[in-house]
Structure 1
Amino acid sequence: SMVTVAVLSLADVVLEKAMHKCILKPLKGHVEAMLKHFHVADGSWKQLKENLQLVRQRNPQELGVFAPTPDFVDVEKIKVKFMTMQKMYSPEKKVMLLLRVCKLIYTVMENNSGRMYGADDFLPVLTYVIAQCDMLELDTEIEYMMELLDPSLLHGE
C-alpha cells in the first residue's frame, strides 16, 4: 500500500542520514585529502590553479557575462557560504547550500536588470563568481558531492 511505501521510503532516508553521520563524518577529511592528492599527482590541481588565475584577470564581458554580476559584498557572502559548505560532510546538505548560492546569483541578476535569465546567461556569471571567490577547493567539493550523491539526484538542477 501507499503507507508501506512511504514508511519504507522514510526508513531509507533515515538510514542514509545515519550512515552519512557514522561513515562520512569521520572520513570526510581523509576523502577530501585523497581527492586533492590525486589532483596534485596528476597535475590537474596546478592546471586548475593556473586557469583560475587567468579567469580572475579577465573582466566579466571577456568571460561571456552580459548580465549583472554580484558586487563585492555579495561575492563575500557567497564565499562564506562556500566555506560553510566545505565544513559539511553530507553531500545533500552541500547541494542545498550550492542551490542557495545559485538562487542568490539569479536574484542579483534579476533584481539589477528587471528581467529573467536562463542557464546560458547564468553559467558565465556563476563561473565569474567562482573565480572571484578564488577557492580551488570547490573543485574537490563538487567531486565529493558527485561521487556520493544518488545518481538519480544528479539530473535537473
Structure 2
Amino acid sequence: MLKRTEAAAEVLDRRIASLSDIVPLDLELNDVYPANIFADRSTGALRPRFFDFGNAIWGHPFVSLHGFLDAVVEWTGARLSRAHRDELLDIYVTVWRDHLDADPQVLWSDLAATEALVGVHRLVSWLRLVPYADPIEIQARAETPRNYLASVAALAS
C-alpha cells in the first residue's frame, strides 16, 4: 500500500499542478450530510446553514462540491445522471464565475483537477481526529480512514 500511496502522491502532484490561483483556499466543511445542515428562515428566505466543523480543513472549495456529490450518491443509493451532474456543476461554476469575474474554462479545469483531492481531504480530517477517539469509536470506525487511504492509493492505478 505504501508504494501505491507514493505513486498516488505523484499522480496528485501532476493533476493539481494545473490548478489556477483564481479561486482562493477556504475553510472547507468537508462533512456535508443531512445531519450537519439545517434550514434558516430568520431572514424570510430559506438559507442552508452548516454546523459540525470537526472535519473542516483548509483547502480548495471545489473539493467540497465533489465530496457533496459523492455523499448524495451514498445517501440515496442512486447515481446522479450525467445530465443532472453536469447541470449542478454548471450552476456551481457560474456562481464562481460571477463572483470572481473569472474565465469559465479555467474554473472548469480547476473543477476537474480538484476531484482527485476528495479522498485526501477526508483522510487528513480522519487522521487528525483519531487521537481524540475512544477505543469503542476507533473499533467502530477503523475502516473509514483505511477506505480513504485506499481511495487515494487507487489514483496510482
Class of the TM-score when normalised by the shorter of the 2 chains = 0.3 to 0.5
The structure with the larger Rg is 1
Whichever structure has more helix as a proportion of its residues is 1
Whichever structure has more strand as a proportion of its residues is 2
